[in-house]
Structure formats: C-alpha cells, structure tokens
Structure 1
C-alpha cells in the first residue's frame, strides 16, 4: 500500500511540474512575440524618420531596441 501511495504521489508531482513547465513555455512564447512586435514597430518608426538607417541596420552584425 505504501509503495502504491508513493508512486501515485510521484506521478502527481511530476504532472504538476510538467504542467507548470508547459505554462511557462506558453508565457515565454507570448512574451517573445510581444517583444518582436514592439521591436518591428520601433524599427519602422526609425526607418520612417530616417530611411538611411535601414541600410545601416542591414549591414550591422546586430542591433538592440530599447523601449
């Protein structure tokens, strides 16, 4: 009986941990999508104000957008 209880408890704990990890992945994906959206909007604003920046950003090895 104790072994069965231990097994059930372990399975329950595993399922709770796994569901939490999956929820974190969904939240992370939403957060990344929002960051990409804000980044593209900021770049579009910069390109509209200064079209030359588009070529500079394209040649750059990387860039950062702060909002």
Structure 2
C-alpha cells in the first residue's frame, strides 16, 4: 500500500531556495576540490621534471 502523501506540506519558496543554495554550494566546493587536485598534480609534475642541483653533504667528524 502506498503511503498517504496528502498530509505532506509543500516546502515554502524560502525553504526550496535554501536547499538549492546548499546544493549549489556543495557542487561548487566539489569543483574547487577537483581544480585544486589538478593544480597539485601539475605542480608535482613540474617539481619532478625540474633537475635538482647536486649538493654535497658536509662531512662530520664521524664520517670516513
């Protein structure tokens, strides 16, 4: 048997607007995370492609 939906009240326009605003904000945060992740991957690739200068380790008295 289907539930009785006649007793349900329709959300107000303000409630619907708030739901839409939350959904849009969530969507935008997800896009921002993806954009940030892509930027981090790009920066990591640049760092890996950049040759690092050879730095000699300073010898301490215990080193042979």
**TM-score of Structure 1 vs Structure 2, range by shorter chain:** 0.5 to 0.7
Where does structure 2 lack aligned partners over 5 or more consecutive residues? 1-8, 56-64
Larger Rg: 2
Say whether 1:14 aligns with 2:32: no
Where does structure 1 lack aligned partners over 5 or more consecutive residues? 56-67
- Give the alignment's TM-score, normalised by structure 2: 0.64
- 3-state SS, counterpart of residue 25 of structure 1: helix
Task: Answer 1 or 2: higher relative contact order, Cα 8 Å, separation at least 6.
Answer: 1
Paired residues, what number? 47
- 3-state SS, counterpart of residue 52 of structure 1: coil
Counterpart Cα distance in 2 of 1:51 and 1:21 = 41
| Greater than 3 Å deviation, 4+ residue runs | none
- Give the alignment's TM-score, normalised by structure 1: 0.61
Counterpart Cα distance in 2 of 1:11 and 1:51 = 56
Counterpart Cα distance in 2 of 1:22 and 1:52 = 44
